[in-house]
Amino acid sequence: MTSDELTDIEIKLLMEGVFQVYGHDFRDYSEASLRRRLTNWLSGSGFATLSLAQSHLLRDRALFDTLLRGITVNVSEMFRDPAFFKAIREQVVPYLKTYPFIKIWHAGCASGEEAYSMAILLLEEGLRGRFRIYATDINEEVIRKAHEGIYPLQEMQNFTRNYQHAGGTGSFSDYYTARYDHAILTPMLRENIVFAAHSLAVDADFGEMNLILCRNVMIYFKKQLKERVLGLFDSSLSPGGFLCLGTKESLDHRHISNHFEEIKPRTQIYRKRYAKK
Amino acid sequence: MQKNNGRKFKAVVIGVSTGGVSALKLVLGALPADFPIPVLVVTHITPDSDDGLAILLDTLCAIRVKEADDQEPMIPGSVYLAPANYHMMVERGGTLALSIDPLVNFARPSVDVLFETAAEVYGPALIGVIMTGAGNDGSKGLSKIKSCGGMAIVQDPADAEMDAMPRSALQLLKADHIVLLVEIPPLLIRLAGVKP
Ligand SMILES: C[S@@+](CC[C@H](N)C(=O)[O-])C[C@H]1O[C@@H](n2cnc3c(N)ncnc32)[C@H](O)[C@@H]1O
């Protein structure tokens, strides 16, 4: 047996222990990414193997928290994939405007970039006071960061370019104040966002959403967990509601796919049908 | 080691950067449509590129070329390009996985990420190829392939449009083959055991 195969066994055993002790369920996460993240964590941990670390991880909550932060990939950007946000603005917002009030769920929001992007977009579309965004993530530390809405100043260049390509109608610099090497988003953007911890692997659905975004989150999940999560989204969406996936994800071959219709090929924006089945 | 000694290879991974488009046209263009194992490619493209390069190569090449989708199963006779702004990885079950982990070697997709995860899965049954490019992405990955018993092919730096990537790989490891770009396809065809 190669050492990589041994590592895979150690990962399985550890994830089982973690689930039973802490209730966090990573047993159905894709192996390649999990292996990379855990190997990274291990090399900074002082332990030689995951088996040696396991005894401590299962007993020491603080140590486990460092592992939890290490497992999840929390990278995000404002207006990542500008063409996607443009499609939301041009093809989804016209429907949203016909609703008296709009409820949106960003599942796996990481440090909040996407949720703030959506808030900007909806404000520019004149929907102030008519929407609420629920932004959730399994990682409580990134939820705290998301709530602060402070990002490294050097990222603003990229965010600004994304914003412009996404069809932004204002000036991106109006949405933040630069302080030393940080950019602080205007508090107004946060008014309609609720940040909360929520795990797609173990927690329940959120009712009556009009729009759900879950982008680049399920790419880390194996098939069974994907199906679970999609089931949650299906039951959380009102009929006619929209489900948005990442640019390389799709509903093809999923259980719920016949409840949905892609609004235009290759947008990864799906609309839930009115008459079920 | 000139012959493949009855060894069975299960996949080819290719890393390329500056000069990549013409190098890929040449190499992939010379592979037959029934090339018996999957080919996985990371080339450094700008984050906002679409799948235009895959579509172009697919038109030009006999072998099927496409951009990888989330958890796509790999099939023989297909080339999978890592999409812009995603790392591409290999899973044990023979599927591809994508990730938006931070940049590695200033790159996403990164050659190292593909090579390392592929080496973990395929061990000695993997062929790694480094071609023209700036920077040193892929060197660590190729040495991981070697240390797992796989085969390392490096484009001769003198033949490369940009020699930094091949040169850096050769500094870190002993390649099994140092060859001209035009020699890469026949070599791959022989190693993969295509019947003449
Ligand atoms: C790569 S980020 C995606 C950020 C953003 N949606 C984007 O596309 O830019 C993935 C996020 O999913 C979160 N995540 C992973 N497993 C989760 C789970 N079981 N429940 C909720 N969130 C999870 C991670 O903590 C991480 O913040």
pTM above 0.90, yes or no: yes
User: Which pLDDT belongs to residue A197?
Assistant: 96
Distance from CA of B159 to the nearest CA of A (A): 34
Residues of chain B with pLDDT under 70: 1-6, 195-196
Cβ–Cβ gap B91/A2 under 8 Å: no
- Domains recognised in chain A with CATH numbers: 3-71 (no CATH), 82-272 (3.40.50.150)
Average pLDDT of span A23-52: 95
User: Quick check: B83 contacting A, CB < 8 Å?
Assistant: yes
User: Which pLDDT belongs to residue A52?
Assistant: 97
Does A69 score more than 80 pLDDT?
yes
Decide: A204 and A152 in contact? Cβ < 8 Å: no
CB-based burial of residue A79 (10 Å sphere; 0-12 exposed, 13-18 middle, 19+ buried)? buried
Q: Does residue B137 have an active-site annotation? A: yes
Q: Mean pLDDT across chain A, nearest whole number?
A: 95
The β-bridge partners of B79 are: B39, B65
Average pLDDT of span A18-32: 96
Average pLDDT of span A224-245: 97
User: Which pLDDT belongs to residue B194?
Assistant: 78
> Nearest CA to A7 among B13, B143, B116?
B116
The dihedral sign for the CA sequence B139, B141, B142, B147 = positive
Running DSSP on this structure, what letter comes out for residue A221? B
Q: Which element (helix H / strand E) includes B168? A: helix B164-172
> Nearest CA to B142 among B19, B12, B3, B10?
B12
Q: How far is CA B5 from CA A46, B9, B10, B63, B131, in A?
A: 42, 11, 15, 26, 24
Chain A, nearest residue to B67 by Cα: A248
CA distance A84 to A93: 12
What is this model's ipTM?
Answer: 0.91
> Nearest CA to A193 among A147, A242, A138, A130?
A147
Give residues with Cβ within 8 angstroms of A217, minimum separation 6.
A107, A108, A200, A229, A246
The dihedral sign for the CA sequence A61, A62, A63, A68 = positive
B2-191 CATH: 3.40.50.180
What is the domain partition of chain B in residue ranges? 2-191
Distance from CA of B98 to the nearest CA of A (A): 6
Q: How confident is the model over B139-168, as pLDDT tens digits?
A: 999 999 999 999 999 999 999 999 999 999
Q: How confident is the model over A165-175, as pLDDT tens digits?
A: 999 999 999 99
Cβ–Cβ gap A35/B120 under 8 Å: yes
Tell the residue number behind the tokens 């948005």, with chain if given.
Answer: A244
* Percentage of the residues of chain A whose pLDDT score is greater than 90: 96
Average pLDDT of span A187-211: 95
Decide: B175 and B169 in contact? Cβ < 8 Å: yes
Backbone angles phi, psi at A68, to 5 degrees: -60, -45
Q: How confident is the model over A196-207, as pLDDT tens digits?
A: 999 999 999 988
User: Which pLDDT belongs to residue A4?
Assistant: 84
Average pLDDT of span A102-117: 98
Judging contacts by C-beta atoms under 8 Å, the chain B residues touching residue A218 are: 70
User: Which pLDDT belongs to residue A276?
Assistant: 52
Residue A111 sits at the vertex; the CA angle it makes with A109 and A116, to the nearest 5 degrees, is: 70
Running DSSP on this structure, what letter comes out for residue A1? -
User: Which pLDDT belongs to residue B2?
Assistant: 41
The dihedral sign for the CA sequence B43, B48, B53, B55 = positive
The dihedral sign for the CA sequence A184, A185, A187, A191 = negative
User: Which pLDDT belongs to residue B4?
Assistant: 52
